[in-house]
Structure formats: structure tokens, C-alpha cells
Structure 1
Amino acid sequence: MKRERLTRAQRKEQTRERLLDAAERVFVRKGLAATSVDDISDEAGYTRGAFYFNFDSKAEVLIELLRRDSERTCSNIQAITKEGGAPDEVKERATAYFTDAIRPDSFSLWAEGSLLASRDGAYRDPINALRNRRLAATSECIRSIRAANQAKLSHGQAEALALGMASISDGLMFFKMSNGQNMSGEGVINVAVAFISWVLGHGPKYEDDK
């Protein structure tokens, strides 16, 4: 069977995706500051020219990686409640997803994004917008699950719980990466499962929960 030839647009998109995949591996391995354009190009099997044909800078690549991760995360979170099922099934599915989402690679990228946003105002708004989009998806998931268990939350209350979940998850990953000898991967997961399950199933009791 004759292989279909890619169009110019398809070839460009393929090159762009390979550069993004390569950049993700190198950023996780070396960090944004220590990574050069040549590192990314070499990892992807392309030249510097190919990199600059698709991106203006390493920072632009990082933001694109965060956008890709944010879109994937939001889609997966929304699917948790859309799939339906009994409240306990949805809660179990959500707990499993949020626990699995505590990944070193994803955390490393968002940590680099947070540092970039704190040091360069030009990137602060787009990075914070992507982070807030993930938090919004998480808070809506929490509201939906808690409502199914007869415990309604306001948007502000759900947002606070979503921020708490994100902060605990990030804190666990940071502690594990910087002080790994004192906490096993299983230990991180156990703490995460306990907190996520508490938020989704019980959480703090607000006045309007009654």
C-alpha cells in the first residue's frame, strides 16, 4: 500500500510536535535555564533552523507545553463526571485520576513555569491563565461530586478546595524530589489519596452544606 504523502502543513505540525516532545524530555532532565536550543534540536533530530522556524524562544516552547498539558488535564477532568455512574463510582474515578496526575514530569514543567512567571512579567499572565484553567476544571469537578452527595458548594468554596488539592500535590512532589530518601513514591501516593478522597467525599463542612 502506497504511503500517503504529508502536506506541507502536516509536515510542519509533525516537526513542531517532535520539537515539543523533545523539549519536554530535556526540560525535565536539565531544567529550562540549563537547556539550550541546540539541546532541544538535537534531541528531536532537527537543526536550530527548524527550531526557530517553529518557535521564537525556549520560553515559548515551555508555555506551549503547559498549554498542551492544561488542555489534556481539563479534558480528562471533565470526562470524570460526564461518564456518569453512581456517586461512589464517580468519586473513585476522580480519586484515581487526581492521584495518577501527580507525575514528576508534569510537576517539573509547571514548576519551571512558576519560576518563569515569577521572574518575567511578560510570561506571567499566560502561565497564570493556564494554571487557573486547570484549577477551574478541578473546582467544577469537586462541586459536581459533592452535589451528588447532597453537599452543595459555592464556586468560591470549591475553588478553595481545588487550590488546596493542587498545593498539597505540588508540595508532596517538591518534598519527594528534594528530599526523596525520606519519602517513598508509595508514601506520596498514600498521602495524596487520603487528602483527595477527603476533599471529594467529605471536605470541610460549610454552613450551606447542611
Structure 2
Amino acid sequence: MNDSIQAPSGQRGPQEHSIRHQIIEAAGEHFSHYGYGKTTVSDLAKAIGFSKAYIYKFFDSKQAIGEAICAQNLATMMAKVDHNVAGGSSATERLRRLFDTLTAATVEQFFEDRRLYDITAYSVAEKWPSSRDHDERLKALLEEIVRMGRESGEFERKTPIDELVRAILLAMQPFTNPLLLQYNLDLLPHGPREIVNLILRSLVP
């Protein structure tokens, strides 16, 4: 089998390769200092000490490198969400935990790791596969919680579930979407809690 067959999200070559991880780590550091938008593959090559052609053996573009960083970040975030949600004893508690965890993780990145925050914001703005996959995972988890709530009698059953899931996610966008959070920081920490309370009241049978 040919190891140079292109992998998903613009990655090339063997998936498990130390150079690939080295490029991702070095690119992350470079982005943290100069920003994703202002960095070119040539800038990365010079900073890392590899030739531009060598970097292209592993990634077909700067976006592919950003995708790798963003995918890791979002996977870590969802692992936290999944873990905390699983600890909820009811659908109501699980819904609260979902948005508490998601909002806390987004806010933490804004203040503690702008590199990851900015790359994730690019992912959302440009509709990268990593961002779309993340959205689909959130929708699936929220739908699971809603179904649990309906089966237990906690939530109403009249609203079509796909419409309900979209509405809930839309209501939380100001605090979970990195493109919007920066404009709503003055509403923390009460804003997300008030929205979740309103959502839960609207779900009462």
C-alpha cells in the first residue's frame, strides 16, 4: 500500500509520524505568537527549520495544519463535555452540564489560550470540517438528552425534536460560538445560566 495517499483534512503521508506531530506542535507555537491569519506556510517552514516542500509532504496547506490543531482541540473539549454530561442523573442536569462545560471551556480558551481560540474561530468562520464535525457531535448529544427527558417525562413532546435541538443550540450561540463570545463577555457568568433556565422552563410538559 502506498503511504503517500492523501489522508482526510489535507493531511498527507503516514498518519502516525513523528515529523507530523513536530510540525503541528511548532505551528501551534508560531500561531500563538503571530496569529493564524498572518502566518504563511513559508513563515512556518522558516520558523520550524524545515523546507516548505518538506512540510507539504505532510500537509497540503496551512489550513490543513490548522485543521489538525483545531480537531485535537475540539476533541479534547468534547471529551470533557461527554464526561461531565454522563455524570448527570437526569436530562435536566445533563442539559445544564452540557452548556456549563461547553461555555467554561470556550471562555477558558479565550483568556488562557488565544492560539486555540483564534484557530477555532477561523474554523467556525470558514466552516472547516473539524468545526462541522464538532457541531454534529453536539447536536447528537443534545438530541440524546432531549429524548431522555421526553422518556422520563421531564420535557414536552410536542415540538419536533430537530427543531427543538436547533433552537437550543442557537440560543446558546452567544456563549459557545468563539466568533460571538468576545462580544458577550460582560454577560458572564449569569447570561448562560439564565438562558439555560429559560430553555428548561420552556421544556416543561
The partner residue of 2:193 within 191, 197, 208 is 197
The partner residue of 2:164 within 133, 157, 160 is 157
**Fraction of identical pairs, as percent:** 17
| SS in structure 2 at match of 1:53 | coil
Is the 1:140–1:158 contact (alpha carbons within 8 Å) kept by the matching residues of 2?
yes
| SS in structure 1 at match of 2:166 | helix
Match of 1:120 in 2: none
Match of 1:5 in 2: none
Is the 1:139–1:155 contact (alpha carbons within 8 Å) kept by the matching residues of 2?
no
Q: TM-score scaled by structure 1?
A: 0.63
Distance 1:160 1:82 in 2: 22
Shift of 1:19: 1.6
Query: RMSD in angstroms over aligned alpha carbons?
Result: 3.7
Matched to 2:167, the amino acid is A
Is the 1:113–1:127 contact (alpha carbons within 8 Å) kept by the matching residues of 2?
yes
Matched to 1:209, the amino acid is V
* Equivalent runs, 1:156-195 vs 2, <5 Å: 156-169=163-176, 170=178, 173-175=181-183, 188=185, 191-195=187-191
The partner residue of 2:135 within 124, 128, 132 is 132
After superposition, give the CA deviation of every residue in 1:33-74 in whole Å (9 maximum; x if it has no partner).
Answer: 420223323544544344122111102112222322332233
Q: Which segments of 5 or more consecutive residues in structure 2 lack a partner in the other structure?
A: 1-13
Is the 1:95–1:193 contact (alpha carbons within 8 Å) kept by the matching residues of 2?
no
The partner residue of 1:110 within 107, 120, 141 is 120
Question: Would you say 1:74 and 2:84 are equivalent positions?
Answer: no
Matched to 1:34, the amino acid is K
Distance 1:92 1:47 in 2: 48
Q: Which segments of 5 or more consecutive residues in structure 1 lack a partner in the other structure?
A: 1-8, 118-122, 177-187
**1:24–1:98 distance in 2 versus 1, CA, 3 Å:** same
Is the 1:84–1:90 contact (alpha carbons within 8 Å) kept by the matching residues of 2?
yes
Q: TM-score scaled by structure 2?
A: 0.64
Q: Determine which structure has the larger helix proportion and give its number.
A: 1
Matched to 1:160, the amino acid is A
Shift of 1:90: 5.1
Aligned residues: 181
**1:100–1:193 distance in 2 versus 1, CA, 3 Å:** same
